[in-house]
Structure 1
Amino acid sequence: MRVLYGVQGTGNGHITRARLMCKALRNAGIKVDVIMSGRVGERPDVPEFGDYKQYKGITFYHSNGKIDRLKTARELSLGQAWRDMGKLNLDRYEMLINDFEPLTAWAAKRHGLPSVSVSHQAAFTQNIPTRDMGTFNRLLAHHYAPCQHALGVHWYHFQQEILPPIIEPMEQVTSDGSILVYLPFEELQEVIFLLQRFSRYQFKCFHPAIKNKEQSDNVMLHPIDRRGFLKALAGCSGVFCNAGFELPSEAMAAGKKLLVKPLHGQFEQVTNAYTLQSLGLASVLQSLEPFTVDAWLQQDQAEPVIFPDVSAFLANRIKDGTWQDTELLSQQLWQQVSYPSATQLVINDIESGVEAESTALSKIRLTS
């Protein structure tokens, strides 16, 4: 069996999730070819992708913690994307697995290749709580990278056919009192200025603008390095980051308290922050102000969220051809999830409300 894997390269979360899925697929005996688009100016070294192909595709630009809509529109190359999509030869593949990558998704749709979206964005095509989504973003979620089937990943299923996060198991988790900071969409100097206000704490700050490792008062500055980042994550006491999906998932699984700042203008991050706060899994910061940070720093250590090995489970279902029973797949995986006690109480209330609403609707139908 040979599959094509399309990866959106604009965020490290897409790459991390696809990297784990490609490894699991190959372990299951499936051949995988990878196409990445949206990554501008660099070619990430991802051994699990093999000799992958890279295209410009469609990407989003940001500035000062917000989506830069003008630059995003100015840099669009729809004609080039259409030509690149038309050149893709899909004859050798049995299916496409897609993580919000438009070129392969539209090519598969055009050629009738079976396709499944395995992404966080696919969860937004389901009936789940959102914030600031609007009509444009709703259309974007459904049509930016359209696939025949959607297997969204999220921190809770909301009674939909959604899977738990795909994360890498972490070994030797400790807690040295440090705080891991990863705010790539914020200006580095503003982040450093904020962190230096809390001189009693030690911060390990990773940022794309950092080129060399150096100490700045109580802030250790690190260039982006996956191995060093995972080591810092395993040893820290808390994580302060933007409201993406993959890093908060890894932090929760490692039992790290979590503070998130959503990227304004990006409905996914705004919704993620709302969901994390609603489930009692994180504190939320709307701007780089010290008061929320101070209160969060004084919080106790978090309890871990136990997630199953979704990538191996899904890869085996793809191999034996049973992955299309998405309802059963979702149920089997969520049965293996364990939340902290406070979050479980919130979820019990959510599920009780859903049950009560269902009962009320049944009574209305019976009397109508």
Structure 2
Amino acid sequence: MKFLFIVQGEGRGHLTQAITLEEMLLRNGHEVVEVLVGKSSSRTLPGFFNRSIHAPVKRFISPNFLPAADSKRPSLKKSVFYNLRKIPEYFRSMCYINQRIKETGAEIVINFYELLTGLTYAFFRPAVPYVCIGHQYLFLHRDFEFPEKNFVQLWMLRFFTRMTAIRTSKKLALSFRTMEQDDVHRIVVVPPLIRQEVASIQPEEGNYIHGYMVNSGFSDSVEKFHICHPEIPLKFFWDKADTEEVTKVDETLRFYQIDDIKFLNGMAGCRAYASTAGFESICEAMYLGKPVLMVPAHIEQDCNAYDAMRAGAGIISDSFDLESLLRFAGRYTPNRNFTSWVRSCERRIIFELEETMNVVIDEMYMVESFV
């Protein structure tokens, strides 16, 4: 089968999921003909993605959230006004997506939580079926438990998620644990897409704290901890623009531009991991048996963190409270059931994608027979 990927380019998670799924499809005799990645003025495409993906990569302008003045949580007001001004550009992007779906000869489109994919299928109705993949689709599952957060924000999160999946054939919800299929919402719960590099790496327990922050404003709390505890090595990755590949504060505190190999090696050898609660890196930490401090940067990550806490991944804080992380690390026990769940990922996801294509072929055969 020929697949076309459409990937939301915000953060690291959707990009690494796309890399992993492409590897799985290639191993099973399928082909990814092209990868379309949503871009914005505030984010650059990490170099590791272009180095790791095999299919041709093309970019298009996509909606995104703008950070608040403190560069921590997104500013909803700024984001709304910014994206409203760019509606004409987004419509051109939808025309481009529709064109690529037709011209690539793709038989199935895979959507990694890109809003314009759902809107393209709403307005242009391409004939090619598409499947949505992401942890966010678990938020639409009838049995998902939400944290006690603002009702309006949770409603908006679910509404946004539905918009990314308009007219989809199936939603594959990546989850920390197994859950029943939700037929009403066309949701199948599957394991996280953990890359081969993570599965093959040998974890060790080092003496440093490893970290990742999507928004650079959280570096303030890291630096405050460092002033009080300069003896504890800290290695943090960020997406801060216009900085060196490595920003060396002193001998025990360094900030790195995101690099996949360095990030994974850092994860494998750390004492504990601190993150802005992105789903992908939490899964990697759980797989490698690392205790996690989760500092949500927006409502989606609030839900990620709550779900991960229930799965035994770690603790939640509103700042990079690394002292609490070290205390938690002293009593942390890895979730071994998670490891076996992850190892069933390829079999489950390939089955669901091939089943989707078989259903489409059967429907086409029935139509032709009727005619």
TM-score bin (small chain): 0.7 to 0.9
1:159: which partner in 2? 180
Matched, 1:36 2:37: yes
Mark the CA change 1:120 to 1:230 in structure 2 (over 3 Å): closer, same or farther.
same
- Which residue matches 2:226? 195
TM-score (structure 2 length as normaliser): 0.79
Pairing partner for 1:181 from 189, 211, 216: 211
1:290-309 matches, within 5 Å, as 292-293=324-325, 295-296=327-328, 298-300=330-332, 302=334, 304=336, 305-306=338-339, 307-309=341-343
Q: Distance in 2 between matches of 1:34 and 1:310?
A: 25
Structure 1 residues without counterparts, runs of 5 or longer: 326-368
**Partner-residue secondary structure (3-state), 1:10:** coil
Alpha-carbon distance between aligned partners in 2 of 1:310 and 1:54, rounded to the nearest angstrom:
32
- In structure 1, distance between residues paired with 2:91 and 2:245: 39
Amino acid at match of 1:270: D
* Percent of residue pairs identical: 22
* Residues 1:74 and 2:87 are matched in the alignment: no
CA distance, structure 1, for counterparts of residue 27 and residue 38 of structure 2: 25
Question: Conserved in 1, the CA contact under 8 Å of 2:9 and 2:45?
Answer: no
Q: Give the AA of the match of 1:247.
A: S
Change over 3 Å in CA distance of 1:34–1:237 after alignment to 2:
same
What is the identity, as a one-letter code, of the residue corresponding to 1:66? R
Paired position in structure 2 for 1:342: none
CA-CA distance at 1:241 after TM superposition = 0.7
Partner of 2:285: 251
Is 1:66–1:185's contact at 8 Å kept on the other side of the alignment? yes
1:85 is aligned, of 94, 97, 100, to 94
Aligned residues: 323
Instruction: Say if 2:46 and 2:258, in contact at 8 Å, map to a contact too.
Output: no
Counterpart-to-counterpart distance in 2, 1:250 and 1:288: 19
Offset from partner CA, 1:61-112 (integer Å, 9 cap, x none): 2233211112212321222112221232223221111111123333345123
After TM superposition, list the pairs within 5 Å mapping 1:1-368 onto structure 2. 1-32=1-32, 33-40=34-41, 41-45=43-47, 46=49, 47-63=52-68, 64=70, 65-76=72-83, 77-87=86-96, 88-89=98-99, 90-91=101-102, 92-109=105-122, 110-127=125-142, 128-131=144-147, 132=149, 133-146=153-166, 147-160=168-181, 161-168=188-195, 169-187=199-217, 188-209=219-240, 210-213=243-246, 214-263=248-297, 266-289=298-321, 292-293=324-325, 295-296=327-328, 298-300=330-332, 302=334, 304=336, 305-306=338-339, 307-309=341-343, 312-314=346-348, 316-317=350-351, 320-321=354-355
Cα separation, 2, equivalents of 1:300 and 1:27? 36
Deviation at 1:42, TM superposition (A): 2.5
TM-score (norm 1): 0.79
Alpha-carbon contact 1:37-1:54 (below 8 Å) kept: yes
**SS of 2:53's equivalent?**
helix
Deviation at 1:303, TM superposition (A): 5.2
Alpha-carbon RMSD: 2.5
Give the whole-Å Cα distance in 2 for the aligned partners of 1:279 and 1:312: 21
2:312, 2:335 within 8 Å by CA — same for their partners in 1? no
Per-residue CA deviations over 1:201-229 (Å, capped at 9, x if unaligned) read: 22112222352432524323323211111
CA spacing shift, 1:62–1:310, aligned 2, 3 Å: farther
* In 2: Cα distance, 1:222 partner to 1:166 partner: 24
> CA 1:297–1:224 in 2, change beyond 3 Å: closer, same or farther?
same
Report the equivalent of 2:365. Answer: none
Q: Displacement, 1:149?
A: 1.0
> In structure 1, what is the Cα distance between the partners aligned to 2:353 and 2:295?
39
| CA 1:21–1:200: 2 relative to 1, 3 Å | same
Question: Using the alignment, how far apart are the partners of 1:322 and 1:95 within structure 2?
Answer: 9
Matched position secondary structure for 2:285: helix
